[in-house]
Amino acid sequence: MNIDVINLGPMDNCIYLVSEGQDALLIDPAWDMNFLEHTLQEKGLRLLAVFFTHGHFDHVKFAQDLLEKHRLKGYMEKNDVILSGIDAHMLNAYSGEQTFDVGPFRVEIIPTPGHTAGGVCIKIGNALFTGDTLFPGACGRVDLPSSDPREMRRSLVKLSKLPEDTQIFAGHSYGGKCSSTIGYERVKNPFMRNAIRDAEAL
């Protein structure tokens, strides 16, 4: 499995192109659909599905154009459908933990509310696409509509229980870095450390 990190937009977004052979998935495509189309064509890839970690505009901007062109429905947790602004008929809305088999990919959905009510992390093999839930050294904002700091703490504790070698790929390259491992974040990320500490104190 190959993972291409595509940085687009004014907010340091990390868009992920996951491929196996000629089959591909896009995670959180936004901002420049022409560039994404060119990348798919240049690599000779067939887009099978689009997944969203959450519905904030900077992770979905212009994505409906891509879905319509490829005659696909995107996958999004139901609580973020309205937030996204994407027409509901263009989305496969789901709830809770899910596993989707798409071509050669087994896509596991881990609900991680906190940044938004419908925030999820997307696990494919040993790669975990964390959107705005978990960043290297940080976590997503919890002062926005539909955010919840208690839910964020619970989500961080949940992620901390994944295998240490799980590779994380965040939704933004804040500080120039978008990837890390669960093991590293468990030790070095103050937000995850504090969430674990609070959970253990209960």
Range of the domain at 89: 2-201
CATH at 122? 3.60.15.10
| Helical H segments across the chain, by residue range | 33-43, 57-60, 63-70, 81-84, 149-160, 182-188, 190-201
The pLDDT assigned to 188 comes to 95
Work out how many domains the chain is built from and give that number: 1
Tell me the whole-structure pTM to 2 decimals: 0.97
The pLDDT assigned to 202 comes to 64
Q: Which of 155, 128, 133, 108 is nearest to 56 (CA)?
A: 133
The pLDDT assigned to 76 comes to 98
Q: Average pLDDT across each block of 10 residues of the chain; the chain has 202 residues. List them in order.
A: 96 96 98 97 98 98 97 98 97 98 98 98 98 97 95 98 98 89 97 94 70
Q: Which of 152, 136, 156 is nearest to 144 (CA)?
A: 152
